[in-house]
Amino acid sequence: MKKFATILTGAVFATGLAAATPALAADKFSVATPGIPPVFAGTILYVARDAGIFKKYDLDVTIKAMNSGAAAAKAVDSGSVDASLSPSQFVVRMVSNAGAPLKAIWGMEHPDWLIASMDASKVSCDSIKGQGVGVDSKRGARWIQLNTYLARKCKMRIEKDVPTVPMSSNVGTAMASGQLNFGVLHIDDVPVIERMSGKKVHTVARLEDVVPGVHYLMMIARANKIAANRDAYVRFVAALRDASKMIHDKANTDKIAKLAGATKRTGADAIYAVNAYREMEFWPNGTLGLGKDRIMKAVANQVGVGKRTKGRGGINPKKTPVSYEQMTDLTLWEDAKKVMK
């Protein structure tokens, strides 16, 4: 934290020299967010960037929207980005099966997933069999939710019994236009689909009901990158906390809705999403968002999926599931609280 401490100390006594002393260049930092266009969870990154929060912490952050949270996690593992917001169940599987050196440094605990249908008469396991279901990508976040539902509730296998249609974050548009009857959605997709189609969206299942208490998203980074540039990661986590605090202030609703423009949610749709997600503490409210119970629930679920699929999905039964301590780095959060502005 030497650089950040130096900046703070210098600010106290160097006011008179400010004009003559060149400003230190902000640390460049890249973070991937799921979906093209980005899903609403990624709003926190755009708030932090466009409200000047990253800049306040001496960070020059590039946000890269990727096809899915799974693709984002792979980009972190390859070293092409510094961090990503990725689905917890995919990450714990990636670490357990492949030994990926990834650490969760911040998180979003509460999932908003639902499997939906445009036909009120088709909301059962029997009706979904053999039908194409919209997901983000093969083995992406939406794919994982569908796989969990099919395995737990329907005793069916994804792709074999139920084919998927990869569409990044455009599943809702395909359902609204009549291209698909079934899809895995976020809750903010629902009012948009209903307005565009003039039809009601019917819930087949909610993930929170299928796997109660499971963790949703992790902000992850490679362990070696954290070690090499720890100060920047501390400031990055501090910025996320500031941005979350800003989002949870109801007085900022209209401003947050406008800052969410990259998600393509605008006007009343964006305001609806901000209010709905704030109410469920989608973004953590003053906490790290990496509760042990929820993360271990994600691990246990992927262990179960691995057993049911004989290693074709989930955590391979021949592998040792990742522990909470292996999966997380909580020290960045503790240091971030010390540099909060």
Is 114-210 the same fold as 2-109+214-338?
A: yes
What are 174-210's pLDDT values in tens digits?
Answer: 999 999 999 999 999 999 999 999 999 999 999 999 9
* Total Cβ atoms within 10 A of residue 324: 16
Q: Average pLDDT per run of 10 along the chain, which is 341 residues long?
A: 44 36 72 95 98 98 95 97 97 97 98 96 96 93 92 93 95 96 96 96 94 96 98 98 98 98 95 96 96 97 90 92 98 92 58
| Pairing state between β 83-87 and 27-34 | parallel
Break the chain into its structural domains and give their ranges. Answer: 2-109+214-338, 114-210
Nearest to 180 by CA among 197, 155, 195: 197
Supply the CATH classification number for the domain 2-109+214-338: 3.40.190.10
Rounded Cα distance, 265 and 248, in Å: 18
Level-2 CATH architecture, domain 114-210: 3-Layer(aba) Sandwich (3.40)
* Total Cβ atoms within 10 A of residue 339: 18
